[in-house]
Amino acid sequence: MLKLMRWIMMLAIVGMISMLFFSKLSYAEYKFGYVDINKIFNNYQKTIEADKALEKKQEEKQKERKKLVSEIRRLKDEMELLSDEKKKEKQEEINQNIKELQEFDRQTRNELLKQRDDAAKEIIEELDKVIKEIGKKEGYTFIFNERFILYGEEAYDLTDKVLKILNKKTR
C-alpha cells in the first residue's frame, strides 16, 4: 500500500516538475504548499479509530486461535495415553486440527490486511479530496508531499489545515 502511494506521489511530483520547466508562466505565478502525510495519518481521528478497530479484531482472532491451539495440545496429551492403534487415529485428528489452525491463520491474516487496506484507501481518498479542495479554493498551483521536499518553510506547510478539516468532517 505504501509502495503504491510512494509511486503515485513520485509520478505526480515528476509530472509537476516537468510542467514547471516546460511552462511559459513565470515562477511568481505559482503558489506552492506541502503536507506531511505521516503526521496526518497519525493524528487523523479516523485513522486512530480504524487502528483501534483493527486491534480489537486482532485480539478477538487471537482468542479464537488460542482455543484452537489448546484443543491441539489437549489432543496431543490424550494421545500419549493411548495404544499405538488409537494413537494413529488421534494423530489424524490432530493433523486435521493443525490444518484448520493453518487455514484460520491464513484467513485471519488476509482479513486483517484487507480491513487495513480498505481503511487506508478510504483515508487516502478523503485526504486527496481535502487537499484538492484547499488547492482549488486557495489558488495553489502545487501541493507536495513533505517526504519529497528537502527543505520547506513552515509558512507553506498545510498539514495542520488539512488535518483540522479532516477531523472536523469526522465528528
Sequence-distant (≥ 6) Cβ neighbours of residue 158 within 8 angstroms: 33, 34, 35, 131, 134, 143
What pLDDT does 56 receive? 96
Residue 9 · residue 147 · CB < 8 Å: yes
- Record the cell numbers describing residue 143, joined without a space: 501541493
Predicted pLDDT of residue 123: 92
Q: 132 pairs with which residues across the strands? A: none
Q: What is the pLDDT of residues 93-131, one digit of tens each?
A: 989 999 999 999 999 999 999 999 999 999 999 999 999
Among 4-13, 20-29, 145-154, the range scoring the smallest mean pLDDT is 20-29
Q: Give me the chain's average pLDDT, please.
A: 85
- Give the single-character DSSP code of 35: E
Q: What angle do CA 42, 48, 51 make, to 5 degrees?
A: 105
For 36, phi then psi, to 5°, come to: -95, 100
Spatial CA neighbour of 146 closest among 4, 8, 38, 30: 38
Is the pLDDT at 30 greater than 90? The verdict is no
pLDDT of residue 28: 58
Name the residue with higher pLDDT: 14 or 78.
Answer: 78
Instruction: Identify the residue with better confidence: 142 or 29.
Output: 142
Residue length of the chain: 171
**Which has the closest alpha carbon to 75: 95, 59, 49, 102?**
95
Tell the burial category of 143 from Cβ atoms under 10 Å away from its Cβ (0-12, 13-18, 19+).
buried
- Burial label for 75, CB within 10 Å (0-12, 13-18, 19+), is middle
